[in-house]
Amino acid sequence: MSDPPLLAAARAACDALPLYRALWSRRPTVEADIPYIGAADLHCLDGPGQLHVAGADPVGAVPPLRRGRPHLGFTRIEADGDWLLRQRRLIGALSRLGSTRLPRRMALVTDDATGPFAADLVELLAWSRVSASLVYAEAGPRSIDRGIEALAPDLVLLVAGVERPAIDVPLVMVVHAGDRPAAATQTARLLVCDELQVLASAGAGETTYIPADDSVRLEIDPRTGLLAVTSLAFTAAPVIRLQVGPGVALA
Amino acid sequence: MSSDNLPAKRTGAFVAGDRGHMTVIDRDGRTEARLRQFLDRLDAESPFYRARLAECGTGTAIERLGRLPPTSRADYRGPLAAEALAGLGRECFVTDRSSGSTSRPVLRFCRGADDLAEQAETERVFRRAGLGPGDHLVCIDVGAAAISDFYQRAARALGVERFTFLHLTEDDAPAWLALQRLEPTAVLAIPSLIARGGERPLALWPEGRSPVRICITVGELLLPRQRTAIAHAWGCRVCTFFGTTETGGFASECGTADGCHFHPESTVVGLADPAWVDPLTAEGELLLSTPDIRTQPVLNYRTGDRVRVSVGACTCGERTPRLWPLGRDTETFVFAGEKFTYDAFLEALRVVAPTLDACSILVGPTTQRPVRLTFHLPEKLRRHEKALRAALTNGIFELDALCRYGMVEVQLAFRGRLPLGNRKGIRLARARTER
């Protein structure tokens, strides 16, 4: 019988990276052997190379939500397979929010801090032929409204923490896993973290998040109540039971 | 020639190196000073360049540079990328990936200092173009939004008020309509993306009513007739911004539109296989050295671009040398904002068919969406069709992206005899285009 997905991912990570062997002291045999870890547990890493599986061709960096402020303190790099999974999670989450129909045209409201993250989403969306343009918030609310009006999108994604635009258009807001959980539930949400990007989504009025797909495992660490994430499938950059922020309600 | 006591009409000088290539220096000795610091840093930090510099002996920095062999794209992809990756540490960085017009992409790592150095250069270019407070800059592209976000920071630093990234997809009509409604005062775009829109982008505003003051073109050669068409339709100034993925943008046109100005102490320009055009002007393959880049720097990097460089003074009064892009060393064609070399296609196909010595490519018709790229291949390869198709898209990631974006459709056609014409020694036929 094959291992449960979490155990299989942990064992694969342990085999591929000395980091996990050092952190866990032994190869896990049951899920209970896999400890929850925080960013501080990775303080000894010299950089992204130690979180990268040898031989996996890097294709680029994973931009954190806020430029220059990654949760782990350094930028992560990924391989093609990891990129494709990120793309699949984003499309899966958006499709679910749109009742399985993917918007054709989107406007992403961003700012100087979240620009690289938003730009990365544009490239992921383009892969599924979604036209996604960027409106920058620095010029103020009126300018955001004019930008959205000009682009005439089917959906607006608020990547920067700005007020709701005055334009009447379906909205989804990006919520960082490290932030205090959003109290307002009248807007649909995408839950993201710096390591794996899109994790889950919640529709308007929904109180629980639904995981974007089966390539990630979301858990609440019973000891701390924190949200922990695992990349069940990975090519270059495994994340195993990494705490990414306060606990959220999971479906 | 030394830079001392240069006549006023000169903005710098060419210095001949022992390997036959030439390096452009400024009037004031800053190129030599920056290069000396740069070589010292590489000697301390880069095992790859330490070994090469050790063989260059002593002398001025310019003399040592003149003895260095060129850095190839293979060096950049291999040892230099590995050194950069190992040296990243816990600092934040971004990456830029480009095919470099080959079937094997290059990955560039940039830490904060690199990003800021490139931003300083870009600000200089935007200032030269006349961008400033009150402007609304719209960047148009099919996918590369990250570089647009970088342009946004440079524009913002000059006081540009609004910035929008406009995403162009296979159905570009809504995007051009959006551009009209956005009412930009400045547009930054790849020339072939504007060309792809046909008359539509040029007919967005009635004559004399366009809000656009400046159009900055990047990424490709701007054809004279396209420059004229844009300038006339939008009633704006059109200027070229030139650079490479590996080094960033570093040269741009002033108001006279007669060559791209560059600062030889920030990006050291060299020419391989140079040929004199006149006493102040030479042509050759562009070699670049990057004193401002810390993470993945290069010395005498072979760009594959053919350029003309002049140290003659420009009528605009800016006392910096100028560069005119002339084309690629290898034959390329531009499609939907991406450059493709014929060799890249052949290299990719040879992964499956190592003995393949030629194929022909038919582009178009471009009135259809997606535009079809038909590769004519020998009949005997028909049984490998699936693998050949995968080799093209897996090997050339920009082609894969354009297929995914719905802009290109790859078709393979097999026939007993390829339509290559009668030329002997030909490896790959020129693309025939129905554009």
Q: Which of A45, A59, A119 shows the shortest C-beta gap to B97?
A: A59
Determine the distance in angstroms separating the CA of A153 from the nearest CA of chain B, rounded to an integer: 10
In this structure, are strands B186-189 and B136-141 parallel, antiparallel, or unpaired?
A: parallel
* CA-based nearest residue to B181, from A87, A209, A147: A147
Asked whether residue A201 carries a pLDDT value surpassing 90, the answer given is: yes
Tokens of residue B122, six digits:
């870009």
Number of domains in chain A: 1
Res. B364: pLDDT tops 80: no
The pair of structure tokens assigned to B408 is 């290109």
User: Residue A186: inside a domain, yes or no?
Assistant: yes
Q: What is the pLDDT of residue A183?
A: 64
| CB-based contact A116 B170, cutoff 8 Å | no
- Domain B116-243 matching CATH 3.40.50.12780: the answer reads yes
Question: What CATH number is associated with residue A150?
Answer: 3.40.50.11840
In angstroms, what CA-CA distances link A128 with A203, B98, B269?
21, 20, 40
Structure confidence at residue B114 as a pLDDT band (50, 70, 90): very high
Residue tagged 């990891």 (tokens): A82
Q: Is residue A199 part of a domain?
A: yes
* Dist CA B134 CA B234 (whole Å): 18
DSSP letter, residue B211: -
Note whether B390 contacts A: Cβ–Cβ < 8 A.
no
Selecting from A123, A151, A152 the residue whose C-beta is nearest the C-beta of B143 gives A123
Q: Is A47 on the interface with B (CB under 8 A)?
A: yes
pLDDT band at A44 (very low <50, low <70, confident <90, very high): confident
What rounded mean pLDDT belongs to chain A? 92
Mean per-residue pLDDT for B228-250?
94
pLDDT, one tens digit per residue, over B55-100 is 999 999 999 999 999 999 899 989 999 999 888 888 889 998 876 5
Quote the tokens at residue B265: 């102490």
Subunit contact A131:B142, Cβ cutoff 8 A? no
Of the candidates B86, B143, B183, which has its C-beta nearest A49's C-beta?
B86
Would residue A114 count as lying in a domain?
yes
A106 lies in some domain: yes
Query: Which residues of chain B make contact with A129, given a CB cutoff of 8 A?
Result: 169-170, 404-406
Mean pLDDT on B339-355: 84
pLDDT for res B270: 97
Contact A144, A163 (CB under 8 A): no
- DSSP bridge pairs for B333: B340
How does pLDDT run across B28-51, given as a tens digit for each residue?
A: 899 999 999 999 999 999 999 999
On whether residue A49 sits in a domain, the answer given is no
pLDDT, position B76: 93
For residue B237, give the nearest of B222, B256, B250, B219 by alpha carbon.
B256
- Looking at A20-24, A34-38, A159-163, B103-107, which range is the least confident one? B103-107
- The shortest CB-CB distance from A139 to any of B95, B162, B174 is to B162
Instruction: Report yes or no: A226 and A250 within 8 Å, Cβ to Cβ.
Output: no
pLDDT (0 to 100) of residue B420 = 54
Q: Where are the alpha helices (DSSP H) in B241-383?
A: 342-350
Report the pLDDT value the prediction gives residue B96, as an integer from 0 to 100. Answer: 87
pLDDT of residue B8: 61
Chosen for mutation from B80, B95, B161, B405 (greatest number of chain A CBs closer than 10 Å) is B95
Answer whether A142's CB lies under 8 Å from A153's CB: no
ipTM over 0.85: yes
Contact check, Cβ <8 Å, B165/A60: no
Residue of A nearest to B105 (CA): A59
- Give the helix ranges, DSSP H, for chain A: 5-16, 18-24, 80-97, 115-127, 141-151
Amino acid at A106: M
Q: Per-residue pLDDT averaged across B284-298, rounded? A: 96
Judge whether A108 lies within some domain: yes
What is the pLDDT, as a whole number, of residue A1? 60
For the cut 90, the answer to whether the pLDDT of residue A144 exceeds it is: yes
Comparing CB atoms, the residue among A61, A123, A133 nearest residue B95 is A61
In chain B, what percentage of residues exceed pLDDT 90? 62
Token duo for residue A218: 């979301």
pLDDT at residue number A51? 86
Residue A225 lies in a domain: no
Query: What was the pLDDT predicted at B6?
Result: 56
pLDDT recorded at residue B417: 65
B97–A contact, CB cutoff 8 A: yes
Q: Is the pLDDT of residue B101 over 60?
A: no
| Best mutation target, B77, B92, B153, to test chain A (most A CBs within 10 A) | B92
CB pair distance less than 8 Å for B165 and A122: yes
- Residue B433: what pLDDT? 34
Domain boundaries, chain B: 12-104+260-328, 116-243, 332-433
Which is higher by pLDDT, B144 or B34?
B34
pLDDT of residue B427: 38
Whether residue A44 lies inside any domain: the answer is: no
For residue B100, what pLDDT is reported? 55
Give me the mean pLDDT over the B328-341 stretch. Answer: 70
B104 touches chain A (CB under 8 A): no
- Domain carrying residue A198: 84-211
Residue in chain B closest to A115 (alpha carbons) equals B149
Q: Over pLDDT 90: what percentage of chain A?
A: 75
- Using CA coordinates, name the residue in chain A closest to B106: A59
The C-alpha atoms of residue B287 and residue B278 are separated, in whole angstroms, by 20
Phi, psi of B90 (to 5 degrees): -95, 10
Burial A175-210 (b: 16+ CB within 10 A, else e): bbbbeebeeeeebbbbbbbbbbbbbbbbbeeeeebb
Strand partners, B408: B371
Write out residues 142-161 of B within 8 Å (CB-CB) of A.
142-146, 148-149, 152-153, 156, 161
A47-75: average pLDDT: 90
For residue B274, the 8-state DSSP code is E
Mean confidence (pLDDT) of chain B: 88
Contacts of A116 in chain B (CB under 8 A): 94, 146, 149
Find which of A151, A154, A156, A159 to mutate to test the B interface (most B CBs within 10 Å of its CB). Answer: A151
B-interface mutation test, from A134, A145, A149, most B Cβ less than 10 A away = A134
* Measured distance CA(B164)–CA(B141) in Å, rounded: 11
Name the residue facing A47 among B89, B143, B164 (closest C-beta). B89
| Residue A56: DSSP 8-state | P
Chain A from 53 to 72: CB within 8 A of any B CB: 58-61, 63, 68-70
pLDDT 10s digits, B245-285: 899 999 999 999 999 999 999 999 999 999 999 999 999 99
pLDDT at A167 over 80: yes
Higher pLDDT, B231 or B334: B231
